[in-house]
Structure 1
């Protein structure tokens, strides 16, 4: 099982679109759209108590649910629903203070990796809204744009084997866009290693996307911990395969 997500928007179409996007990153996570009003015509703007309640019920599993909302009254609707839940159900639901799109993608990737409820919530609330590396200082290092000098191609390891590094050129036409960023982040989440790619946390799909790395640019990786070498291998294999995309 995994933590479920409920997307609450004033627009039914926005909720459905966010679910569609997040589901591309996390195919095994239950993500439910709870947008629009009760009439379901897809035109009227508003939120529905019953839709949110039903969404939580549908998304609920053994690991709990994170609810993401767009505007203020959507938060109020979700809070009202939570007040009417049975105590044992309410204890397994978290209402995220997060940007609905970025938060949903980050939470979905974290949930796909098997993270518990509180970690999925933190991923949603910590998702980066801006995709400009310059605006992310000091969270992104000066090498984050991928134009500086990277590590040695192919990778190197310290004598103790606990720290490794490598630098790889992106061959695929679209570079490190949303899908490969999500796949890479999810794979690294499963390893016991701390990994950075061009200075950012490589287990964060939003930070990877913020780099804006395109075809021909360098991905410089540093990893430490018990699974450091495996983490470097995962990045190398992913990049060299072009993330399964055309070059």
Structure 2
């Protein structure tokens, strides 16, 4: 069982679009849109959000994201009214980036707190940003370099696949391209590197399972990130 997501928006089309994008990143995660008023117009619908939370919770709880203030109020009212309010949590996060980060975290098996944290950090100054590449570790590191041969490079879905590949592996993974460096566990940071087809990318892993992390990434590269 994985943590589910609910996307609450004043617009049904916006909620559906974001849920679709997040779902592409995490095919085994239940992402439920809850957008628009009961009459089909702009607004939020308590009953629709309530049903979405129930649907998203398949046993591991749900994380709820929202677009504007009144959507937040509706979401919080729904969670407070649950028989067990601990089954769901409303997270203050950028809707698109937060949904993507949360979906990838849920796909990787993170618990509800971990999924919520991934969503909230997507709007901060931490994992979602790249940092200048630091000198490679002198000892205890496993490194690899490869040329991206897949059409999408390290954008969107391939970045999510890389993060999912190292999820649960006990290793710190750093992905480097040009002057930038990204946390290998952050899909947004990897996407921000802007690495495209034909670019040369390096990966460095440290920790007890560093070799396993690098092996998994190299396997993805050989499979062209499953684009064939």
Instruction: State the TM-score, normalized to the length of structure 2.
Output: 0.90
Among candidates 39, 49, 53, match of residue 52 of structure 1: 49
CA RMSD of aligned residues (A): 2.4
Q: Is 1:192 the equivalent of 2:197? A: no
Once the two structures are superposed, residues 127-172 of structure 1 have per-residue CA deviations (whole angstroms, 9 ceiling, x without a partner) of: 158xxxxx9899533249xxxxx97xxxx995xxx42112211112
Residue 147 of structure 1 corresponds to: none
Distance 1:229 1:65, change over 3 A: same
Distance 1:208 1:47, change over 3 A: same
In the TM superposition, residue 83 of structure 1 has moved relative to its aligned partner by 2.6
Greater C-alpha Rg: 1
Distance 1:77 1:193, change over 3 A: same
Judge conservation of contact 1:201–1:207 (CA < 8 Å) in 2: yes
Judge conservation of contact 2:4–2:61 (CA < 8 Å) in 1: yes
Q: Distance in 2 between matches of 1:45 and 1:16?
A: 14
Residue 140 of structure 1 corresponds to: 130
Q: Is 1:71 the equivalent of 2:68? A: yes
Alignment of 1:135-174 (within 5 A): 140-143=130-133, 158=139, 162-174=140-152
Q: Distance in 2 between matches of 1:17 and 1:138?
A: 21
Residue 16 of structure 1 corresponds to: 16
Among candidates 59, 82, 85, match of residue 62 of structure 1: 59
Q: Distance in 1 between matches of 2:159 and 2:119?
A: 16
Residue 33 of structure 2 corresponds to: 33
In the TM superposition, residue 240 of structure 1 has moved relative to its aligned partner by 3.1
Once the two structures are superposed, residues 23-54 of structure 1 have per-residue CA deviations (whole angstroms, 9 ceiling, x without a partner) of: 11111111111101112x3xx11001111111
Judge conservation of contact 1:68–1:104 (CA < 8 Å) in 2: yes
Q: Distance in 1 between matches of 2:102 and 2:2?
A: 11
Q: Is 1:225 the equivalent of 2:222? A: no
Residue 112 of structure 1 corresponds to: 107
Instruction: State the TM-score, normalized to the length of structure 1.
Output: 0.84
Judge conservation of contact 2:205–2:213 (CA < 8 Å) in 1: yes
Instruction: Name structure 1 gaps, 5 residues minimum.
Output: 130-134, 145-149
Instruction: Name structure 2 gaps, 5 residues minimum.
Output: none
Q: Distance in 1 between matches of 2:138 and 2:70?
A: 53
Question: Would you say how many aligned residue pairs link Structure 1 and Structure 2?
Answer: 224
Q: Distance in 1 between matches of 2:67 and 2:100?
A: 14
Distance 1:139 1:109, change over 3 A: closer
Q: Distance in 1 between matches of 2:101 and 2:220?
A: 20
More strand by share: 2
